[in-house]
Amino acid sequence: MPGNPFWEVLRVFGRDELAALLSSTVATLGVSFFSRNPLILSLTGPVVEKVGFFLPYLKNRNFYQGFSSLLKDLAVHDPLYTVLMYWGLTSYPNVPIWLLVIGSFAIAVLLVWIGEVTYREVSYQLQIFRLHLRGFNRVSYLEARFYIRGSQGRQILNNLSRRFGLKRKSRAAYQDLYFQNTLKIYNGRTPIVRFRKRGKEIQKGDLQSVQIVYTRAGEASRKKPQQFNYYLTRKDKLYYQLKQAMPKKVSEIKNEKIRSTIKAITRGPSHPVKFWREVVRNPKTILVSVDEVKIPGGRKFTVVEIKSHLDKRSRQMLVAAMQELMFRYEVIQITHSKSSLTALDKS
């Protein structure tokens, strides 16, 4: 699972800045013995700290990550630190210099920390908006996924249907085609690009769509200890219904806007996944599906998925359904996609 985006930024950038803080403090104190000019003292830290900036990377030699932090340091942290330090020296000249250095340094790191996560979040929303302008629709929901040992799928559906009042049933064949993509990860949201062919539940014929799905897994919060840990995935699915036969490659998409959008973000070979899905649902709360996934060579495995709306009531019912499933059946809670599972089995 991805880490907390705030912690991820602080873990890398904060560590790099902590290494630089020592050299910055020592250098500024040293210069203060020869000059009390606020501008000189404010600029000393940003200049000298670069000596200690790459010290954390000497061991693992991951200098690319070091340069990434360095760019943020030069573009944002150094100007903020310089302004704060100059203001502190001119407004509070009696405050010890070492305290001003540490205080200015910490405030600048905090602003970069919040700013980077905010920038990624805004970038993600702009990406969603651009895809919407291209013709994609959006649906968001929570999902829990389980790998089943044995063939208990029908029993699980019947049990959860009775337990949670899931009346509406359906069964359909699915054919997915997954593509490698060049999309960015935004605050732990991992992108998936696929074509999906789904059998209609009532009318004859199939539904084809192009989908860009951003997923972010995390542990459900709780106020007190419980018997199980509950790992949920938030999914933002952007889809476009294709009014054509299922394409086998990007160039076969007839809609020019959609074709150019997908062509720009995909590369490499595609990966097919076929499965039968049986579903019980309450349209207002949760849906439970049992997916029988086919693997080349005649083998198969089964995945149970529980999906819910984002409101509090649906989320509570989702966790309750997870608890029921884990208490009664031999299942393995996972966050891997069916594409990943079939690729692992094939390898």
- Please tell me whether the overall predicted TM-score, pTM, comes out greater than 0.85 for this model: no
Provide the terminal-to-terminal Cα distance of the chain, rounded to the nearest Å: 22
Residue 229 pLDDT class (50, 70, 90 cuts): confident
For residue 12, the model assigns a pLDDT of: 67
pLDDT tens-digit profile of 26-35? Answer: 888 888 888 8
Q: Which residue from 303, 295, 298, 291 is spatially nearest to 342, judged by alpha carbons? A: 295
For residue 347, the model assigns a pLDDT of: 46
Question: pLDDT higher for 287 or 56?
Answer: 287
Judgement on whether residues 75 and 180 belong to the same structural domain of the protein? no
- Domain of 88 in residue numbering reads as 5-129
Residue finishing a domain among 81, 97, 129: 129
Mean pLDDT value across the chain: 85
8 A C-beta contact, residue 240 and residue 257 = no
CA distances for 131 relative to 121, 174, 212, 260, 326, angstroms: 16, 24, 9, 12, 37
**How many distinct structural domains can be found in the chain?**
2
Judgement on whether residues 167 and 306 belong to the same structural domain of the protein? yes
Judgement on whether residues 297 and 229 belong to the same structural domain of the protein? yes
Residue 336 pLDDT class (50, 70, 90 cuts): confident
Percent of the chain with pLDDT over 90: 44
Judgement on whether residues 152 and 294 belong to the same structural domain of the protein? yes
Tell me the two tokens of residue 56.
């954390």
pLDDT tens-digit profile of 104-123? Answer: 888 888 888 888 889 999 99
CA distances for 328 relative to 83, 156, 163, 325, angstroms: 61, 9, 12, 6
Q: What is the Cα–Cα distance from 70 to 119, expressed in whole angstroms? A: 17
Q: What is the Cα–Cα distance from 77 to 75, expressed in whole angstroms? A: 6
Judgement on whether residues 148 and 114 belong to the same structural domain of the protein? no
Judgement on whether residues 125 and 138 belong to the same structural domain of the protein? no
